[in-house]
């Protein structure tokens, strides 16, 4: 039985995630030069902390994990409520701070929990068939349980992470067999609400959108980071300026260079070829994730895998998009590459679940 599980396992997703981690560590080593390599060393420590979570997520049948997702979901909701009463960091109450030891971001860890719970819930509601999700009252139940964590994250405020949840939930709903009429209605509602929401956005959010549209309107204020990011990526050209040699990176013009703008560090010091390699790795990872969702042995496996794919897709697209000026800056990390303990643990739990789902297919599709 163990040989069958190992044979079926889609090891490519693990290899790609480790390659992205290595690239991230190289960039972090350069970005933390002159600061005793603090975030670089911590990221290595967080990787070792992530390993047991990865192993557990792989070894325990995902259906068993899903059965406990309701209880874990409630715990995570409690943590998301509790974090609202913590001391704000950079204007957001998103972290439980344990002094110099560590800081935990529950909205990161809750991603995988919410995906598991929503997948489990939809599967339960579809007990009589996949079309059951299209019954209004069942769809409303799913949307309510989706809206609770998203609403709590928006209150923090952390719009980027909230968007990641929304994209993951949309991916799950699409795969679950939701009727096209609901998709059309949702698009119309969004089209109507966008101008209303825009007019009622807080001042800092409006400023970010304005700066995204025209960074040069505030080159020393809110437009500073994106201007420096684009200068860094452009300066890298084909092969980069060399590790530890980037002007914007080493002279402190990029901020925060270990998290939001790590892609800019790579673009400046390692060049266009390295950034394209990262994009290729993400395309392989997301493609394999979709393949795992397609070949899963049951609906829960498909929903969990595609939800994880949605998370990876949004984080990749948003982080790279914001560093090159195509999307607004939201503070979304680049999976496996940006510094962040909560993010790294969550990402490797997701990889463990993907390995888990692929291993328990009826036969090998390789």
Within-domain flag for 354 = yes
Nearest Cα to 293, choosing from 127, 176, 134, 180?
176
DSSP-assigned letters across all residues of 6-22: HHH--THHHHHHHHHHH
pLDDT class for 339, splitting at 50, 70, 90? very high
Across 221-244, average pLDDT:
90
Across 90-105, average pLDDT:
78
| Radius of gyration from C-alpha coordinates of the chain | 21
Three-state SS for 245? coil
Give the up-direction half-sphere exposure of residue 293: CA atoms within 13 A in the CB hemisphere.
22
Phi, psi at residue 104, to the nearest 5°? Answer: -115, 135
Across 299-306, average pLDDT:
96
Nearest Cα to 278, choosing from 13, 19, 11?
19
Whether residue 112 contacts residue 343, with contact meaning beta carbons closer than 8 Å, is answered with no
CB atoms within 10 A of CB 2: 7
Three-state SS for 108? helix
Report for 19-33, 86-100, 149-163: range of highest mean pLDDT: 19-33
DSSP-assigned beta bridge partners for residue 92: 89
What pLDDT score does 356 carry?
96
Q: Which two tokens stand for residue 37?
A: 């390599």
**pLDDT tens-digit profile of 12-60?**
999 999 999 999 999 999 999 878 888 999 999 999 999 999 999 999 9
As a whole number of angstroms, the distance between CA 61 and CA 113 comes to 15
What pLDDT score does 364 carry?
45
Whether residue 222 contacts residue 208, with contact meaning beta carbons closer than 8 Å, is answered with yes
As a whole number of angstroms, the distance between CA 91 and CA 139 comes to 35
What pLDDT score does 366 carry?
41
Residue 181: pLDDT over 90: no
What pLDDT score does 158 carry?
87
As a whole number of angstroms, the distance between CA 242 and CA 275 comes to 14
Within-domain flag for 352 = yes
DSSP-assigned beta bridge partners for residue 104: 96
Residue 323: pLDDT over 50: yes
Asked if the peptide bond before residue 345 counts as cis, ω within 30 degrees of 0, the response is: no
Within-domain flag for 188 = yes
Within-domain flag for 243 = yes
What pLDDT score does 121 carry?
95
Three-state SS for 339? coil
What pLDDT score does 169 carry?
92
pTM: 0.92
**pLDDT tens-digit profile of 266-288?**
999 999 999 999 999 999 999 99
Domain count, the chain: 1
Residues 6 or more apart in contact with residue 131 via CB below 8 angstroms? 177
What pLDDT score does 100 carry?
67
DSSP-assigned beta bridge partners for residue 97: 103
What are the distances in angstroms from CA 28 to CA 20, 21, 104, 253, 325?
A: 12, 10, 20, 15, 22
Within-domain flag for 364 = no
* Mean pLDDT score of the chain: 89
Across 52-72, average pLDDT:
94
Q: What is the dihedral of CA 134, 135, 138, 141, to 10 degrees?
A: 80
Within-domain flag for 77 = yes
As a whole number of angstroms, the distance between CA 20 and CA 26 comes to 10
**Residues 269, 273, 277, 279: is their CA dihedral positive or negative?**
positive
Within-domain flag for 248 = yes
Nearest Cα to 164, choosing from 340, 336, 354, 333?
333
Three-state SS for 96? strand
Within-domain flag for 365 = no
DSSP-assigned letters across all residues of 290-329: HHHHHH-SSHHHHHHHHHHHHHHHHHHHHHHHHHTTSS--
Q: Containing domain of residue 23, as a range?
A: 2-359
Lowest mean pLDDT among 63-67, 188-192, 337-341: 188-192
């Amino acid at each position: 039985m163990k040989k069958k599980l190992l044979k079926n396992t889609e090891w490519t997703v693990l290899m790609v995630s480790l390659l992205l981690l290595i690239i991230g560590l190289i960039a972090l080593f350069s970005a933390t030069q002159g600061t005793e390599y603090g975030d670089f060393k911590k990221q290595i420590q967080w990787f070792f902390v992530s390993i047991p979570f990865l192993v557990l997520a792989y070894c325990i049948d995902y259906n068993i994990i899903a059965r406990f997702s309701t209880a874990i979901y409630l715990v995570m909701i409690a943590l998301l409520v509790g974090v609202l009463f913590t001391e704000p960091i950079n204007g957001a109450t998103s972290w439980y701070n344990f002094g110099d030891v560590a800081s935990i971001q529950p909205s990161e860890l809750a991603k995988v929990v919410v995906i598991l719970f929503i997948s489990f819930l939809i599967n339960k509601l579809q007990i009589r068939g996949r079309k059951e999700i299209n019954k209004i009252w069942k769809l409303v139940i799913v949307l309510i349980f989706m809206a609770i964590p998203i609403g709590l994250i928006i209150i923090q405020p952390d719009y980027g992470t909230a968007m990641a949840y929304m994209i993951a939930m949309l991916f799950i709903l699409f795969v679950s067999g939701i009727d096209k009429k609901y998709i059309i209605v949702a698009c119309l509602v969004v089209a109507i609400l966008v101008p209303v929401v825009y007019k009622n956005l807080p001042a800092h959010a409006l400023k970010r959108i304005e700066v995204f549209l025209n960074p040069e309107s505030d080159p020393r204020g809110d437009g500073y980071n994106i201007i420096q990011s684009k200068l860094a990526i452009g300066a890298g050209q084909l092969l980069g300026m060399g590790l530890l040699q980037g002007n914007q990176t080493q002279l402190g013009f990029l901020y925060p260079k270990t998290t939001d703008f790590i892609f800019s560090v790579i673009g400046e010091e390692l060049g266009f070829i390295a950034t394209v390699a990262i994009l290729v790795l993400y395309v392989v990872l997301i493609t394999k994730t979709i393949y795992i969702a397609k070949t899963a042995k049951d609906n829960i496996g498909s929903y969990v895998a595609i939800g994880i794919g949605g998370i990876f897709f949004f984080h990749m697209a948003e982080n790279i998009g914001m560093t090159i000026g195509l999307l607004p800056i939201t503070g979304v990390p680049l999976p496996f590459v940006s510094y962040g303990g909560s993010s790294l643990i969550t990402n490797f739990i997701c990889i463990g679940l993907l390995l888990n789902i692929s291993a328990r297919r009826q036969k090998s599709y390789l």
